[in-house]
Structure 1
Amino acid sequence: MEAIERFVDVGIKLQVREWNQEGKKRPFLLIHGLSSNARTWDGVARVLATVGHPVTAVNQRGHGQSDKPDHGYDFTTVTADLHRLIGVLGWKKPILAGQSWGGNVLLAFGAQYPGVASHLIFVDGGFLELHRRGSWEEIAEQLRPPAFNNVQRDQLKSQISTHHSDWSDEGVEATMHNFETLPDGTIRPWLTLEQHMKILRALYDQHPAALYSQVREPVLICPADDGSEWAQRKRGAVAAASTALPRAEVRWFEQTAHDIHVHRPKQLAEAMLDFID
C-alpha cells in the first residue's frame, strides 16, 4: 500500500503522508522525532492501514518540506499545529503516536488538549527529561547535531547501513529523507541548526513529571533497550512515567535501536494495535 503525499494548511503548510484515508477504523496520526521525518513511519503505517485504519504521518514545522518559519519551535506552538491538523483532517478521537521528541510533543499535547485523542503512544520518548542530565550548556554541547558539510548522500547512506546492519533497505532510505539532497550529491538537514537548537532548548526546559497527571488518555510507553548505558539509566524515567500517568502500560523493545519504528516496524505496529484493542 503506497502513501499519498500532500500539504495541509494549518496556518503554516505541513507536508503529510497518508494511507487508507477511506478506512473505517479509528485513525492514527504519527509524529516523528527531532531532525527526523514522516517517512520513518512508513513500515508501521502500512501495517496499520492494511487492517483498516486511516493513517497520516506528518513532517512537523521545520522538517522535510513543511514550512520553516523562524519561530514557533516551542511545545505550545507545535502542539497547536497538531491540534489544527486534526481539525482540518476532520478526525474525532484519533490515536496519536510520537517517537523520541515526538513522544514529548504528545505528552504536552495530552496535557494541553485533554480528550482530543483516544490513546497516546510514546515510542522511546515522552519521558525524556534533559534537564536531569546536566546544565543547558552541557546538553547543548553534547547533543548539538554534527555538521554535514560536503558529505555525499551515498557515503552517509552506506555508513547508516553499516551501523544498522539489521535495518531494512526501506528503513535506511527513509532515514535518508532527514536530509535534502543537493545538485552535487551532497546533503544537508531539512531542519536548520538554529531551529534544531530551539527545539532542543524547549525539550530541555520541559518538565514531564509536572505533566503526567494532566493526561487523561491511556498511554502506551514503548522504550528501546539497545544494551547501552543510557538504556539502563532511562528505566527509572520510564518507571516514574508509568507510575505518574493515570493510565499507562509499558512494552519494552529489547535489543532495539532508539528508532524502534524504523528498526522493528511490524512488531511496533502490532504492539500499538494490541494496546488500542
Structure 2
Amino acid sequence: MTSTSCSPWSERIVIRDGVRLVCRDWGGSGTSTGTGTGTGTDVLLLHGLAGHSGEWDATARLLRDSGHRVVALDQRGHGGSERHPGDVSRAAYVADAVAVIDALGLQRPVLVGQSLGGSTALLTASAHPGLPRALVLVEAGPGGANPGVQEQIGGWLRAWPLPFPSREVAAAYLGDGKQSVGEGWAAGLEERADGLWPRFDPEVMVRSLDESATRAFWDEWTAVACPTLTVLGQGEQGGIIGGEEYAEMVRLRPALNGASVPGAGHDLHLERPAILHGLIVDFLREVVGAASPGLGVASAP
C-alpha cells in the first residue's frame, strides 16, 4: 500500500460497490492513530472538480506536522480512483467519503473540501450530522442553479491542447499566470509515451455537475450541525462565492466562521497553503480544542 519508500505518504485503496478509491494517507497523531500527543484531530481532504489528492500536499504536510492525522482522497472519476464510474451523483461522492472514513478508521474527522470537494464535504456533514467534528469549506458553498456551468466547464476541459509535451508547458497553460496553481494542476497529469494527459474524462466531469447545474443546497446547509469555517479567495478576479451568497450563508447559520485570503483566487489552497493551514488550525483550536500552532488569520469577508 506504500507508494514509494521515500514518499511522505502511503497509498491506501478503498473499494466501495466495486469502485476503486485511492487515498494519500499522510499519517500523523490524530485521534485515530493513538500516536504522538493525540491532541490533534483526524482530517479528510477533498479536492475540486478535475483535481486530484496531490493538490493538498503542502496543506496536508503542514496539518500533519501540526499533530493531525491527514488523509487526502482522489474522488471518483479523478486521479488514481476509478476513471469511469457509472454513478457520479452527489450522493455517490458522499457515500465514498463515508466509506473512506470508515475503512481508514478516521474518528469524527474534520472535513476540508475545495470547490466540488467542498460540496461533497458539506453534503456529507448534512447527511451524517454525527460523523464530522467540523467542516471547512474552501471556495465552496450551497450555491444555486447554474444551467450554463456544464457547458462552461466542459468547453474548457475539452479545449486543453493535449497532450502536453512537458509539465512546464502544462503548468504555464493551466496556471494562467499563477505558477503555484499551474504546477498543482500539472502534478495531476499522467505521463504516456506521447506526452502528458489528464487523469479524468471530461464527460465524466460534466456529468458530475448534473445536480449543481439544476439546484442549490440551502436545505442541506441549514442541516449541518458541526462548527463550520468558510475560506474565500479575494484576488483580483475574486472567487466563486459572491457577497450575496455568503450573506445568506451567515443569515441561515449565524455562528459561521468566515475568512478571506487577500490576493488569492479559487485555487487558494495552491496559492496560499500556509495561510490556509493557519486558518484551519486556529479554527480548530477555537471550536474543537485541538492543540495546534497557528500561523495567523486572514481578513474576514
TM-score, length basis structure 1: 0.88
Shift in Å at residue 103 of structure 1?
0.8
* Structure 1 residue corresponding to 2:51, chosen from 36, 61, 68: 36
In structure 1, give the amino acid aligned to 2:15.
D
CA contact 2:228–2:257 (8 Å) conserved in 1? yes
Superposition map of 1:255-270 within 5 A? 255-270=263-278
Q: Does residue 157 of structure 1 match 2:168?
A: no
In structure 1, the partner of 2:9 is 3
Structure 2 SS opposite 1:221: strand
CA contact 2:49–2:205 (8 Å) conserved in 1? yes
Identity between Structure 1 and Structure 2 (%)? 26
Q: Does residue 120 of structure 1 match 2:130?
A: no
Length, aligned pairs only:
266
- After superposition, the CA RMSD in angstroms is 2.1
Gaps of 5+ in 1: none
* Deviation sequence 1:61-115 (CA, Å, 0-9, x none): 1100111343221111110111111111112211010000111111111111111
Shift in Å at residue 140 of structure 1?
2.6
Distance 1:271 1:79, change over 3 A: same
Distance 1:227 1:174, change over 3 A: closer
Q: Does residue 181 of structure 1 match 2:188?
A: no
In structure 1, the partner of 2:22 is 15
Distance 1:207 1:160, change over 3 A: closer
Moved over 6 A (4+): none
In structure 1, give the amino acid aligned to 2:280.
M
Shift in Å at residue 146 of structure 1?
3.2
For CA contacts below 8 A with separation 6 or more, give which structure has more relative contact order: 1
In structure 2, give the amino acid aligned to 1:164.
K
In structure 2, the partner of 1:140 is 150
* Structure 2 residue corresponding to 1:243, chosen from 233, 248, 251: 251
Distance 1:260 1:20 in 2: 24
Distance 1:191 1:206 in 2: 24
Distance 1:35 1:250 in 2: 26
* Structure 1 residue corresponding to 2:202, chosen from 179, 193, 200: 193
CA contact 1:93–1:116 (8 Å) conserved in 2? yes
* More helix per residue: 1
Gaps of 5+ in 2: 1-6, 31-37, 286-301
* More off after superposition, 101-110 vs 2-11: 2-11
Distance 1:184 1:232 in 2: 35
Distance 2:142 2:57 in 1: 24
Distance 2:136 2:58 in 1: 16
Distance 1:257 1:233, change over 3 A: closer
* Deviation sequence 1:111-151 (CA, Å, 0-9, x none): 1111100000000012332x1x4xx2x33322222333343
* Deviation sequence 1:160-188 (CA, Å, 0-9, x none): 466104x3xxx644321332222112x33
In structure 1, the partner of 2:222 is 213
CA contact 1:73–1:202 (8 Å) conserved in 2? no
CA contact 2:264–2:272 (8 Å) conserved in 1? yes
Distance 1:49 1:66, change over 3 A: same
CA contact 2:228–2:256 (8 Å) conserved in 1? yes
In structure 2, give the amino acid aligned to 1:153.
S
CA contact 1:32–1:101 (8 Å) conserved in 2? yes
Distance 1:174 1:161 in 2: 8
In structure 1, the partner of 2:299 is none
Distance 1:172 1:151 in 2: 13
